[in-house]
Chain A
C-alpha cells in the first residue's frame, strides 16, 4: 500500500534556530500533501495544504512566515519551522492522498519537535 515517510522522527533545537521536516511519498505521486500539528492529548489541527509547484494554502491563524512549506516535487514536501520558540514544540504530521487508493489518506509517522 501507499507509504509516506517523514523525517526526522524527533528533533531538539535551540530557540531562534530553524528546523526542516521532510515528507515523502515513497511509492506514489502526491500533488497535494497536508501538514498537521497535534498538541498533547488533542486531535490533529490542519496547518496547511501543500500543492506541488505552487504556493501552500494556510489555515486561518497559521503564520505563513513561521511555517514555510515547499512542495518542489510530486513526492516531497517540506515544512520549515523558522526562528523556533518553545511554544512551537509539538508533534507535526504530514499526509498525502494516493489517487489510486480510493481517496484515502496515508500519514507519515510524525515528527516530535522540542525547542529548548
Chain B
C-alpha cells in the first residue's frame, strides 16, 4: 500500500529565504509525482509534474526533484515571498491502470514579511 508523508508539517521562514519541502513515498513503482499548492478554503493549483522517467522539473522560483529509488521528492522554493504562504501537497500516481493518486498530508508554509 502506497503511503505518502511530508516533512515538515509546518514551516515559518522570513521573506527572501530559500527553503526545501520534503515528500516521501513507500512504493517506488509510480507513474508520476505532482506538487500542488492550496490556499485556505480553496482548491488545488498544480505547481509541477514530474514523470517517473524524469529527475526534476523547474518553474520560475520552484524546482522539484524526484528520486524514485529512495522514494523521495523535494520542492525547492527560492527567494521566498509572503505570497508563497500556503499549504503544499505532494501527490503520487500509482503505476496501475486504476490511476489512483495518493496525497501526502501537506506542509503549511508561512513566509513572514
Interface residue ranges, A against B (CB under 8 Å): 6, 32, 34, 36, 41-44, 46, 49, 91, 93, 95, 97, 101-110, 112
Tell me if B65 counts as interface (CB < 8 A to partner A).
Answer: no
Which residues of the partner chain B approach A101 to less than 8 Å between Cβ atoms?
A: 49
Which residues from chain B contact A108 at a C-beta distance below 8 Å?
43
Which of B12-20, B31-39, B76-84 forms part of the interface with chain A? B31-39
The minimal Cβ–Cβ distance linking A77 to chain B, given in whole angstroms, is 14
Q: Does B64 contact A (CB under 8 A)?
A: no
Closest A residue, CB atoms, query B52: A103
- Once A and B bind, how many residue pairs between them come within 8 Å at the CB atom? 58
- B binding-site residues for A, Cβ under 8 Å: 31-32, 34, 36, 41-46, 49, 51, 89, 91, 93, 98-106, 108
Interface centre among A44, A101, A110 (most CB of B within 10 A): A44
Given A93-B44, A104-B32, A108-B43, decide whether A43 and B106 contact each other with a Cβ distance below 8 A. yes
A93 touches B99 (CB 8 A): no
CB distance A46 to B105 under 8 Å? no
**In this complex, what residue of A is CB-closest to B99?**
A32
Contact B34 A104 (CB under 8 A): yes
